[in-house]
Structure 1
Amino acid sequence: MRTRDPGAGWWRLYPAVPGALLAVGGLLDFVTPPHVTLTPFYVAAPIAAAPVLSLWATGIYGVLATLLVVVEMLRIAPIGAEATIKVGTVTSMGLFALLLNRMLSRRDERVASARRIAETVQRAVVPEPPGRVGRLRVAARYRAAQRNALIGGDLYSVRETPHGVRMLVGDVRGKGLGATEVVAVLLGAFREAAESEAELGAVASRMEDTLLRERRNRPDLESNEGFTTAVLVELPDDPPLRLRMINRGHPPPVLLHPGGQARYLSGDAALPLGLRELDGHRDRATTATFPPGAHLLLYTDGLSEARDRDGVFYDPLERLRGRRFATPRVLLDWVLADVRRHAGGGLKDDLAVLAVQHPVPNGQAVVLS
């Protein structure tokens, strides 16, 4: 069976439709008078099979439909031109269903290939970070939406700098190559500023300066609605480990303590990057303790805006509360599986997730509260 977005429950039942059409047609053929034609049921079966089933399955339904209409015609005596036309109609529609199946299969192959290329480009622009940065364990994931093959604007980066470990998760408004260019500009600015700027707020300002300058100098740069949401986090090396965070219009990170307690890290309200002319806000970092054994989860809105069949948004805080994870990799594997279950198996938007853990030093007890 060819793949389809499994988000809608009714679609999972659709592959049974062709068989049901043949069964209903065959049943009615034996309980209705000979002059009642059941040809539409037989024509519909292979056509219904073509978009979702394999070429062989579509062909089998076409053959079964033709045999059933032949049986129907044998009940009518004498067999005349009308019977020949009906058999020919069902046969030709079966052949058309095979052609339709091949056309749709080739289209799906092209879309799948384009999606693979898009994900490859995304990984080249936004490489996965190493498993350990400084004293922190790190894991990151990017998942493309199923409904399109456009390159997304999600980005993340983790770097060890003279000022501690600094990390970024962001989401460029828009998709396609234009969004990818903005991602490259912002990541380049972050990597440079993270090394040289002593204050986290200065890193955010440098990123915004670079974005606005490049937009002025390059008219082709993505400017549709012109902004990027982002959250920047800094973890200095000085014990006890405390994090500093600046949020520019992005979904709040989740701090998951080793005992399972979880909370959002909410900072000063600030506009996304690229909207400086609307507000002269000066970035002020929010601080929080990051105890041994704790995880920090950063994500894009592809996670928090995933909906179930009733339209309820995915709430990472509620889903994570009371849970414990050994490593960031295990945490992200669980989150991605959980959001897919919540959304019925299909994601409607790209998502990027980044998790870091403060490992417990050897011999130190974990504080669960």
Structure 2
Amino acid sequence: MDLLVPEDVHLGPLLVIAPAITASFAGPLLTGAVGLLAVAAQAYIGLHFGVLTSRNVIVQIAALAVLSAVVVCFCVVRERRRRELARVRSVAEAAQHVLLWPLPDRIGPLRIACLYLAAEDEAQIGGDLYATTRVGDGTRVLIGDVRGKGLAAIGEAALVLGAFREAAHQHTGLPELAAALERSVSRYQADFEPEEEAGERFATALLLEIPDQGNISRMTSCGHPAPLLLSPGHAVTVPSLHPAPPLGVGGTGPTGYAVDVFTFEEGDTLLLYTDGVIEARDRAGSFYPFPERAARWTEASPESLLHHLRGDLLAHAGGHLGDDAAFIAIHRSPTPHTRPGRHHTDR
């Protein structure tokens, strides 16, 4: 174009656009090659008009070369940060799989889905935790929230999860299990506390016991909010709960923990969550209306329910949460009835 327009119009300086655009989608090598090509084109323009050795053209060529070099340096720094980010993501994913074992899709008569939303960018995991385990003819579930968020809370979350996975098979009652978790957290939490937060760390936890047979389930809360019980027909109820103090604040013994009994019938879905859900705010400062929103999808499958809640929660919070948030959706499937004269065998 510079060769075609009148001689008093100079388009050569616009060649700097070429390496700048290339840097948006390519790496430093291709960007450097385009920069060299742009410098060569500028030199050819000067040669064509017989002004290659003029001060103006020499300054244009030098400026284009310097700007191209700056763009290449930017690409090098960007690629280095991209590799570092990829390593951070890889470590975060590995930590998540080690700490938060994926929950099975089905345990006995229960269909389960879980969702974790980390508040810190690229962390993928923080202070919220959950776990399930089979105990006899039933299932025990833990969901909890360590004070704080992000990578600093991972150590204490790992402590609670490890204690639950071991103690859940050693204690017959939920109060005894809660007391065992309290002893473990109190014994080791000083190893994970920053000096500036000494004595201020704790973890809330909700323990559930869901037998395979019958509609009665039990739960014990250590400072954790009650779950939502979703029934067909857009009905949402909150089971009565008598919470004890959180783990790590000096609980007493099994007598200090109450067992709350509620009805969990076939076709119902139990929705467990952490306080990052109910404390999410919109731009106006309004909290997320969790029960009202959950009532929209009472008849959805656990996976679909969490998919809808994830999109709705992030939309309410403007795409970013102020605290980690975790969900567990547990659906009690109808028990198949055996025909008279035949025996039902689990495979």
Deviation at 1:151, TM superposition (A): 4.8
Q: Which residue of 2 aligns with 1:188?
A: 162
Deviation at 1:200, TM superposition (A): 1.6
2:215 equivalent to 1:245: no
Q: 1:148 to 1:330 in 2, by over 3 A?
A: closer
2:195 equivalent to 1:220: no
Q: Which residue of 2 aligns with 1:23?
A: none
- Aligned amino acid, residue 248 of structure 1: C
Q: 1:213 to 1:344 in 2, by over 3 A?
A: same
In structure 1, which of residues 205, 216, 230 is the aligned counterpart of residue 205 of structure 2?
Answer: 230
Contact 1:261 1:322 in 2 (8 A): no
Deviation at 1:156, TM superposition (A): 0.8
Q: Which residue of 2 aligns with 1:158?
A: 132
Q: Which residue of 2 aligns with 1:120?
A: 94
- Aligned amino acid, residue 282 of structure 1: G
Deviations 1:169-206 (A, max 9, x none): 11223467763332332223223332233332222121
- Aligned amino acid, residue 221 of structure 1: F
Q: Which residue of 2 aligns with 1:366?
A: none
Contact 2:149 2:324 in 1 (8 A): no
Aligned length in residues: 323
Q: Distance in 2 between matches of 1:176 and 1:346?
A: 14
Q: Distance in 1 between matches of 2:175 and 2:286?
A: 35
Q: Distance in 2 between matches of 1:92 and 1:294?
A: 67
Q: 1:59 to 1:286 in 2, by over 3 A?
A: farther
- Aligned amino acid, residue 191 of structure 2: D
Structure 2 gap ranges (5+): 1-8, 338-347
Deviations 1:48-91 (A, max 9, x none): 996x6544897899799989x99xx9xxxx99635643553354
Contact 2:233 2:299 in 1 (8 A): no
Percentage identity across paired residues of the two chains: 37
Q: How does 1:1-150 map to 2 (within 5 A)?
A: 54-55=26-27, 81=55, 84-85=58-59, 88-145=62-119, 147-149=121-123
Q: How does 1:319-334 map to 2 (within 5 A)?
A: 319-334=293-308
Deviation at 1:356, TM superposition (A): 0.7
Deviation at 1:312, TM superposition (A): 4.3
In structure 2, which of residues 313, 320, 326 is the aligned counterpart of residue 352 of structure 1?
Answer: 326
TM-score normalised by L of structure 1: 0.69
- Aligned amino acid, residue 330 of structure 1: S
Q: Distance in 1 between matches of 2:257 and 2:225?
A: 17
Q: 1:125 to 1:236 in 2, by over 3 A?
A: same
Query: Which of these two proteins has the greater Rg computed from alpha carbons?
Result: 2
Q: 1:263 to 1:46 in 2, by over 3 A?
A: farther
- Aligned amino acid, residue 201 of structure 2: G
Contact 2:149 2:323 in 1 (8 A): no
Q: Distance in 2 between matches of 1:191 and 1:283?
A: 19
Deviation at 1:118, TM superposition (A): 1.4
Q: 1:160 to 1:65 in 2, by over 3 A?
A: same
Q: Distance in 2 between matches of 1:188 and 1:356?
A: 22
Q: 1:306 to 1:111 in 2, by over 3 A?
A: farther
Deviations 1:118-172 (A, max 9, x none): 1222212221122222321122233444614375232111122247322111122
Q: Secondary structure at the match of 1:195?
A: coil
Q: Distance in 2 between matches of 1:326 and 1:154?
A: 25
Deviations 1:281-325 (A, max 9, x none): 922233322121111111233434444455544333222113234
Deviation at 1:115, TM superposition (A): 1.8
| RMSD (CA atoms) | 4.3
Q: Which residue of 1 aligns with 2:235?
A: 261
Deviation at 1:227, TM superposition (A): 0.7
Q: Distance in 1 between matches of 2:63 and 2:16?
A: 8
Q: Distance in 1 between matches of 2:299 and 2:68?
A: 54
TM-score normalised by L of structure 2: 0.73
Q: Which residue of 1 aligns with 2:181?
A: 207
Contact 1:153 1:180 in 2 (8 A): yes
Q: Which residue of 2 aligns with 1:317?
A: 291
Contact 2:186 2:249 in 1 (8 A): no
Contact 1:340 1:346 in 2 (8 A): yes
Q: Distance in 2 between matches of 1:221 and 1:205?
A: 20
Q: Which moved more, 1:175-184 or 1:93-102?
A: 175-184
Q: Distance in 2 between matches of 1:299 and 1:122?
A: 18
Q: Distance in 2 between matches of 1:172 and 1:213?
A: 16
In structure 2, which of residues 240, 245, 249 is the aligned counterpart of residue 271 of structure 1?
Answer: 245
Q: Distance in 2 between matches of 1:189 and 1:229?
A: 14
Q: Distance in 2 between matches of 1:262 and 1:118?
A: 35
Deviation at 1:46, TM superposition (A): 7.2
Q: Which residue of 1 aligns with 2:343?
A: none
Structure 1 gap ranges (5+): 1-33, 364-369
